[in-house]
Structures are given as C-alpha cells and as structure tokens.
Amino acid sequence: MKLLSPFLLLIFLVGCESTYYSAMEKVGYHKREILVDRVEDAQESQQEAQQQFTSALEHLKTLTNFDGGDLEVIYDQVNDQYKDSKAAAELVSERIDEVNSVAEALFDEWQGELEQYQSTSLRAESEAQLADTKKRYAAMLKAMRRAESQMAPVLSRLNDNQLYLKHNLNARAIGSVGKEFVRLEQEVADVIQQMSKAIAESDKFIATMK
C-alpha cells in the first residue's frame, strides 16, 4: 500500500479534526470546552511525566549505591525506567499538539465570526477578548513547549546510561554512570520546575476560560 505524502496526511488529519469538532458541537460540546479539557489532559500528562522522571532518577541513584546483587536485574529496571520515561515524554508532546490543534481551530472560528456582527461595539469587545485570549494562550503554550524541550536531554542521558550498562554490567560501569548522576539530577530538577511553571500557566488559562 502506498503511504500518504506528509501534505496529504496533514489534510486528512485536519479533516478528521474538523469532523470531530462539528460532531461535538451538534451535541453542545464546543471548541472552547474541548480546549479546556485538552489543557487539563496536558496538565495530567505533565504531572505523570514529573513522577516518572523522578522514579527513573531514584532507580539510578539506587544503582550508584550498588553494594551487591544481580546486576542484570538492576539493568532491566533501569531500562524499563528509560522506556517509561520516553513514553511519558511522548504523551506530553502528543497532548500539547492536541491542545494547539483545537486552539487554532477556535481562534480561526472566532476571527471569522467577527464579520457577522452588526453591532460595532459588540464586535470591538469580542475582538479585544479574542486578542486577550490569544495572548494568554501564547504564554501558556510557550511554557508547555519550554518544558517539553527540556525533556530531550534527560531522555538522552537516560538512554546513554542504559546503553552503557547493557554492554558493561560491572562495578566500573556503575562508577561511570555515577559520575553522570549529578548532571542528570540537575536536568530532572529543571524539567520538573519547568513543568510546574507550565501547569501553573495552564491553571491561569483555564480559570479565564471557564
């Protein structure tokens, strides 16, 4: 089967989204409400990622304090933590993309409907509200994307550690991983801090949308 080109795939996905929004509006579930729900979903995925990165760090800390036991078992745990962290990060990115998709659809619809006003004062007020909502949304999205971008170095370092241990299950390898631990610890702390800021921005945005 011939795969769709990226352009055709984009058209297909946009069409699916439009169909979904239309169907939801028919049952009284509008883009504004969908946006709020997706922002809440993004918050939830960020909180889960915070917990997962913390868990991965704790497992590596246990490894650096290794004083005997089955190294193969410990490696399997480190590898599982990397896989879970990668999945958590991918979900965060997916949820942010979903937020942005409905936000763009909402803003396009809102902008188009400004032309339908007969009252210039009501139109001006709605236009000002749109501009304010876009500004608040942009601040929230920026915080989300900043936190998202900081997950990459953490995942890279976790992957490096599990790859190194995979082929070097010995005390020397554990010592090498231990040398990387302080930097990883700081990177995880940075990610958690940025995600907390993004969640706080989301709370502010949601409060103004309800």
Per-residue pLDDT of the chain (210 residues; tens, 9 = 90+): 344 444 433 444 455 777 888 787 788 778 999 999 999 999 999 999 999 999 999 888 877 777 666 778 878 888 999 999 999 999 999 999 999 999 999 999 999 999 999 999 999 999 999 999 999 999 999 999 999 999 999 999 999 888 888 887 777 777 777 777 888 889 999 999 999 999 999 999 999 998
pLDDT of residue 119: 97
154/132 Cα distance (integer angstroms): 35
This prediction has a pTM of: 0.85
Tokens of 40: 């809440």
pLDDT of residue 138: 98
115/42 Cα distance (integer angstroms): 32
158/145 Cα distance (integer angstroms): 21
pLDDT of residue 15: 58
Domain boundaries, the chain: 6-209
103: CB partners within 8 A, 6+ apart: 35, 137, 141
pLDDT of residue 96: 98
Chain-centre distance of CA 153, in angstroms?
A: 15
pLDDT of residue 14: 52
| DSSP result, 108-137 | HHHHHHGGG-S-HHHHHHHHHHHHHHHHHH
pLDDT of residue 7: 46
